[in-house]
Amino acid sequence: MFEHDIRPWGEYWVLDDAETHKVKRILVNPGGRLSLQYHHHRAEIWTIVSGVGTVTINEEIKDYSAGNVAQIPLGAYHRMENKTNEPVVFIEVQYGTYFGEDDIVRVEDDYNRS
């Protein structure tokens, strides 16, 4: 059974959780967006599976569609936003030394989380 969590912007499923990496399937609802955040212990690779997501990586903001890959370096500010009427689904591969949810440092958050 996969770990599953519902968030204000959508939901995610953990597909693999190992010492060296973690893999999630993430669904962002229409109009939803993740917090602008960074991590101390991990970098991420996002592969878009369906929909069109607007990805922020530091100062760069651009749309990614199915098959596009976003590489997020360790410490980079990043966010996924869905400005469309269809869900955005992407696969997130985390790699580094620690993958806990408490390694999310939120810089901006629409849902007032710390």
Reported as a single tens digit per residue, the pLDDT across 3-57 is: 999 999 999 999 999 999 999 999 999 999 999 999 999 999 999 999 999 999 9
CB of 38 within 8 A of CB of 76? Answer: yes
Mean of the pLDDT values across residues 55-77? 98
pTM: 0.95
CB of 111 within 8 A of CB of 36? Answer: no
List, in order, residues 6 or more apart from 5 with CB less than 8 Å away: 11, 12
- Name the phi and psi angles at 102, rounded to 5: -75, 5
Confidence of residue 114 (pLDDT cuts 50, 70, 90): confident
Q: Among residues of the chain, what percentage have pLDDT more than 90?
A: 95
Q: Which residue has the tokens 């990586």?
A: 57
The CATH class, in words, for 3-108 is: mainly beta
In angstroms, the CA 77 to CA 31 distance is 20
Mean of the pLDDT values across residues 86-99? 97
pLDDT at 29: 98
pLDDT at 16: 96
DSSP the chain: --EEEEETTEEEEEEEE-SSEEEEEEEE-TT-BPPEEE-SSEEEEEEEEESEEEEEETTEEEEEETT-EEEE-TT--EEEE--SSS-EEEEEEEEES---GGG-EEEE-TT---
pLDDT at 1: 64
Average pLDDT, the chain: 96
